[in-house]
Amino acid sequence: MTHKRIDRKKQKRKRQVYESNLINNGLQLEATRSVLDEKLVFVKVHAPWEVLCTYAEVMHIKLPLQPDDLKTRESAFNWFTSLFRVDENIIKPEQEFFTAPFEKEHLSNFYIQDKDTFFNPATRSRIVHFILSRVEYATKNNVKKFGINKLLDSGIYKAAFPLHDSSFRHPSTDPACPSERYLLYREWAHPKNIFKLQPLDFIRKYYGEKIGIYFAWLGFYTNMLIVAAFVGVGCFLYGCLTKDNCTWSQEVCDPNIGGNIIMCPQCDKVCTYWNLTSTCESSKKLCIFDSFGTLVFAVFMGIWVTLFLEFWKRRQAELEYEWDTVEYLEQEEQVRPEYEAQCTHVVMNEITQQEEHVPYTACGKCIRMTFCASAVFFWILLIIASVIGIIVYRLSVFLVFSATLSRHINGTQAIHKYLTPQTATSVTASLISFVVIMVLNIIYEKVAILITDFELPRTQTDYENSLTTKMFLFQFVNYYSSCFYIAFFKGKFVGHPGNPVYWLGKYRNEECDPGGCLLELTTQLAIIVGGKAIWNNIQEVLLPWVKNLIGRYCADARSEKIVPRWEHDYHLQPIGKLGLFYEYLEMVIQFGFVTLFVASFPLAPLLALFNNMLEIRLDAWKLTTQFRRMVPQKAQDIGAWQPIMQGIAILAVVTNAMIIAFTSDMIPRLVYYWSFSVPPYGSHSSHTMKGYINNTLSVFNISDFRNASKPSSPWFGNQTTCRYRDFRYPPGHQHQYEHNIYYWHVIAAKLAFIIVMERHHSFP
């Protein structure tokens, strides 16, 4: 613990009372003045043998009885990994023991060869932190105030943390027995180990099970991405190789076909008529992503995500057994001190028929839960409001870009081949959406912590699971809402040029390019995923490194004295209250992008694979070199993230089926290929895609424009009709501008595809 000698008597008295009570609880304290700052004092805390034994029994900590002599078999997940393992001569495998909850009465039954090593550093830190969190420092109005967290929040102490065992740059004073931190840096965190497996047992020994299981999950997820990336690259290459045979794209670019098709304006007044060939470049790109390979990949990813979750459950069960955390939640997990402090109500337990102290009555709990749920719901509505604002921006700015970047029928301006009003609107809206996402994230983090603190969960696991659920609900809407809008709403409810649909009674709904909105969805994903990765690396890696660099420079400038290890650790960056939350969140959000919208971008698993290989080493590097050592914590599993991923997996099957059905043009092309391109009777020719563009663009009579939507620019030429993307009867038909038979064939095929895909991927 560290503090500054503040002249405030009240704070000094609280500190003195707290430290006195620590000594009364058996801890040994030693105060040392800072080498670099005379006002800074370090209070070193040591727990002697008796204290460790007493609190190990209180905390029900499992400790070794005797070495495990059972034969072990190789894990099912290590069959191809022998070449990538860490050298066992450098990091030796951990010895296995039979364990039991510690009891002082049966001390002789435990495997104690050396009292100094019986409690490892991680267990010592857990016990000391348990004591620090429950020792009193004041009493006011018969209410006891206790805990190091309260003292830290009020500024009485500046920090409280366990020490690293040595410098990560040097082995230790004994080169023959290097420190654990040095070995972790050299064999795990160093970039040269990017293709090596992680020493999970060693990570767990130094940092605790909670960090160990995070890196186990991240490594497993990364390994599973190898298969998905391989299949995704194959589907992408298939699209690249077959794009030149893409008949509908050839028709768009053909001056005799697409060059003769005049499209209707896509907005009121300021938009003008445009030539279909202006979308030639986007149609060529779309052929890569909207191919038969994409359909195959979407089906494959539905299978992959199911296998990933089932295999991870098995791997997690192995780790629970190996790390002896199977019964952790029932036997070892302690009540949070914040919960204990509020236990002022006495109720009768209906099961045990004994009195229990609780922080609130049933009515009080109901009020708290209602308030918390209402607060979360309000913030989710706030995100939806921001998404609506982005949509209004898109609809408004599209008019501006249409006026300044209006397409000319003669195509004299080359820029229109690449920069269309839709493209300009999509890119700027995606950038604004990304900025809004980042700002709302920063604000909501503080709100979610306040809400969860008010909810007052009983244990730390309950607290983290509650906070995780709240944060992910917010993040889910925040990150994915714009993608859901493009995939399933944009261009779906636009009416036709003679009777367009208006949003909020004012803004005409956006339309997709003739090739659909799939390419725009890919652009949105690339901007959000790419921008998020850059932002996270700046926040999580670059900023701590710069802060530590500045701190070391200032320290070297102020003093030439040898700085002790505890002072070095103090000047490292704190891990933060949320701990690993943002590490999990970053990867689970990525998991969502990889699975929910993978039908629009087959290369997503490959990019995620490269990112995760780097992410593992960056996370290891910053934990080992840039951050103070976390208080080691036990964990049985990855907590609330498991059901969250299961929910994403189920939703992924639905979204990918709907993307193929409603966002891409795959189903309309298949319907045309098998139903409407039938060769003449007696002909030996096969089905063909020729005429697809002409068949899927409906005809509109220019004279049927309403005054409110009639383009203000003059019409040059002798044509009296324009085309638009829909399946409707032409003017002059008895059901003019109503949906034709092709439309109903396509709708039936889309619904049939969704039902078949859902049935095929239904979860047990």
Residue pLDDT, tens place only, 237-255: 888 888 777 888 888 888 8
Q: CB-based burial of residue 535 (10 Å sphere; 0-12 exposed, 13-18 middle, 19+ buried)?
A: middle
Give the per-residue pLDDT at 716: 57
- What's the rounded Cα separation, in Å, for the pair 266 and 402? 9
Give the per-residue pLDDT at 230: 92
| SS3 at position 345 | strand
Please determine, for residue 441, whether its predicted confidence score (pLDDT) is greater than 80.
Answer: no
**Residue bearing the bigger pLDDT, 129 or 70:** 129
Q: Is residue 314 part of a domain?
A: no
Give the per-residue pLDDT at 225: 92
**Residue bearing the bigger pLDDT, 137 or 90:** 137
Q: Are 650 and 305 in contact (CB under 8 A)?
A: no
DSSP 105: G
Mutual orientation of helices 460-488 and 581-596 as an angle, nearest 10°? 30
Residue pLDDT, tens place only, 262-318: 888 877 777 778 888 888 887 888 888 777 888 888 888 888 998 999 999 999 998
Residue pLDDT, tens place only, 318-327: 888 888 887 7
Q: Which of 539, 510, 520 is nearest to 597 (CA)?
A: 520
Q: Is residue 555 part of a domain?
A: no
Q: Are 572 and 548 in contact (CB under 8 A)?
A: yes
634: Cβ contacts below 8 Å, ≥ 6 apart = 126, 208, 209, 210, 325, 328, 332, 333
Q: Is residue 56 part of a domain?
A: yes
Residue pLDDT, tens place only, 677-736: 555 544 445 567 788 888 888 999 888 888 777 887 666 567 788 888 888 998 888 888
**Residue bearing the bigger pLDDT, 410 or 111:** 111
Give the per-residue pLDDT at 360: 64
**Residue bearing the bigger pLDDT, 206 or 579:** 206
Give the per-residue pLDDT at 565: 84
Q: Is residue 630 part of a domain?
A: no
Give the per-residue pLDDT at 283: 81
Q: Of all residues in the chain, what percent carry a pLDDT higher than 90?
A: 5
Q: Are 628 and 573 in contact (CB under 8 A)?
A: yes
* pLDDT level of residue 86 (50, 70, 90 thresholds): low
pTM, 2 dp: 0.82
Please determine, for residue 401, whether its predicted confidence score (pLDDT) is greater than 80.
Answer: no
Please determine, for residue 193, whether its predicted confidence score (pLDDT) is greater than 70.
Answer: yes
Q: Is residue 23 part of a domain?
A: yes
Number of domains observed in the structure of the chain: 1
Give the per-residue pLDDT at 143: 63
* pLDDT level of residue 418 (50, 70, 90 thresholds): very low
Lowest pLDDT segment from 219-228, 370-379, 420-429, 471-480? 420-429
Residue pLDDT, tens place only, 339-348: 666 666 666 5
Q: Are 150 and 561 in contact (CB under 8 A)?
A: no
Please determine, for residue 517, whether its predicted confidence score (pLDDT) is greater than 90.
Answer: no
Q: Is residue 633 part of a domain?
A: no
| SS3 at position 373 | helix
Secondary structure, 3-state, 154-220: CCCCCECCCCCCCCCCCCCCCCCCCCHHHHHHHHHHCHHHCCCCCCHHHHHHHHCHHHHHHHHHHHH
Q: Which domain does 155 fall in, by range?
A: 1-61+103-160
Give the per-residue pLDDT at 564: 84
Give the per-residue pLDDT at 417: 45
Please determine, for residue 407, whether its predicted confidence score (pLDDT) is greater than 70.
Answer: no
Phi, psi values for residue 145, rounded to 5°: -110, 130
Give the per-residue pLDDT at 16: 86
Give the per-residue pLDDT at 416: 45
- What's the rounded Cα separation, in Å, for the pair 368 and 449? 14
Please determine, for residue 524, whether its predicted confidence score (pLDDT) is greater than 60.
Answer: yes
Please determine, for residue 76, whether its predicted confidence score (pLDDT) is greater than 70.
Answer: no
114: Cβ contacts below 8 Å, ≥ 6 apart = none
Give the mean pLDDT of 420-430: 69
Give the mean pLDDT of 211-240: 90
Q: How far is CA 46 from the centre of its chain?
A: 39
DSSP for 231-286, written as a single string? HHHHHHHHHHHHGGG-HHHHHHH-TTTGGGPEEPPSSSSS---EEGGGGHHHHHHH
* pLDDT level of residue 764 (50, 70, 90 thresholds): very low
**Residue bearing the bigger pLDDT, 15 or 438:** 15
Give the per-residue pLDDT at 361: 63
Give the mean pLDDT of 324-345: 65
Give the mean pLDDT of 537-547: 74
Tokens (6 digits) for 640 = 């609330």
Tokens (6 digits) for 313 = 């459950």
Give the per-residue pLDDT at 415: 41
Please determine, for residue 106, whether its predicted confidence score (pLDDT) is greater than 80.
Answer: yes
Name residue 159's beta-bridge partners.
2
Sequence letter at residue 594: V
- What's the rounded Cα separation, in Å, for the pair 169 and 186? 9
Give the mean pLDDT of 83-93: 64
Give the mean pLDDT of 547-574: 75
Q: Are 575 and 619 in contact (CB under 8 A)?
A: no
Sequence letter at residue 689: M
* pLDDT level of residue 571 (50, 70, 90 thresholds): confident
Give the per-residue pLDDT at 472: 83
Q: CB-based burial of residue 755 (10 Å sphere; 0-12 exposed, 13-18 middle, 19+ buried)?
A: exposed
Q: Is residue 379 part of a domain?
A: no
Give the mean pLDDT of 506-519: 71
Q: Is residue 355 part of a domain?
A: no
- What's the rounded Cα separation, in Å, for the pair 634 and 439? 33
Give the mean pLDDT of 404-423: 50
Q: What is the mean pLDDT of the chain?
A: 78
Give the per-residue pLDDT at 514: 57
Gyration radius from the chain CA atoms: 32
Q: Of all residues in the chain, what percent carry a pLDDT higher than 70?
A: 80
